[in-house]
């Protein structure tokens, strides 16, 4: 009978010694982590952050001499991949800046919305226009509660932001459509 358990990343037990630097555990980032570093960086973090988040998620590995040599050996390849990724993000930012999206919402006669338009609605409107943006990338200063034109920041990652024009317009109801005919 086959073993149906899923494989988990190998995480060293807490009792095993990790290379400790002057400011905590020394790890090598396998993937870029926002507010910590980019791929290939050697970082010093607290043991709890290392054992509970970075190592189990596969974002980092223990910074051994072998791993450090491997990163140095492949630094040029990593730089080329990073450059291509940044170029893709910048192209996406330019395309988003040209974009203007419309979101329909229920509103009263004064232009106040009955609900609000949030990051999820903006992300869904962008997805309808073939831009795959997650709701956590949309940077709103607060929910949009009135009809009008808004300029909304979209954080694409690695310090690249774009701005999108968002029109919040009243939704057309069947009664309103019948009155205009």
The model's pTM: 0.58
Rg (alpha carbons) of the chain, rounded to whole number:
24
pLDDT tens profile 128-143? 999 999 999 999 988 8
- At residue 40, the 3 state secondary structure works out as coil
pLDDT in tens, 41-57: 889 999 889 999 999 99
H/E segment holding residue 156: strand 148-157
Q: What phi, psi does 141 have (nearest 5°)?
A: -80, -15
Distance CA 161, CA 159 (A): 6
- pLDDT tens for residues 161-174? 999 999 999 987 65
- What domains can you pick out in the chain, each with its CATH number? 20-73 (3.40.5.10), 88-174 (3.10.430.100)
User: Do the bridges between strand 60-62 and strand 100-105 make them parallel or antiparallel, or are there none, so unpaired?
Assistant: unpaired
The rounded distance, in Å, linking the Cα atoms of 151 and 93 is 14
Per-residue pLDDT tens for 73-107? 877 787 888 889 899 999 999 999 998 999 999 99
């Amino acid at each position: 009978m086959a073993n149906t358990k899923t494989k988990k990343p190998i995480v060293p037990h807490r009792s095993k010694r990790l290379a400790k630097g002057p400011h905590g555990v020394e790890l090598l980032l396998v993937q870029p982590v926002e507010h910590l570093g980019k791929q290939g960086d050697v970082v010093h973090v607290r043991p709890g952050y290392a054992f509970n988040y970075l190592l189990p998620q596969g974002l980092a590995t223990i910074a051994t001499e072998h791993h450090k040599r491997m990163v140095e050996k492949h630094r040029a390849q990593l730089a080329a991949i990073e450059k291509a990724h940044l170029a893709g993000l910048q192209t996406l930012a330019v395309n988003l800046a040209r974009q203007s999206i419309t979101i329909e919402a229920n509103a009263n006669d004064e232009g106040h919305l009955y609900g609000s338009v949030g990051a999820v609605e903006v992300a869904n409107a962008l997805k309808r226009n073939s831009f795959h943006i997650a709701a956590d990338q949309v940077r709103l200063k607060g929910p949009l509660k009135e009809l009008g034109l808004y300029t909304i920041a979209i954080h694409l990652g690695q310090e690249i932001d774009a701005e999108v024009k968002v029109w919040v317009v009243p939704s057309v109801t069947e009664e309103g459509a019948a009155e205009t005919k």
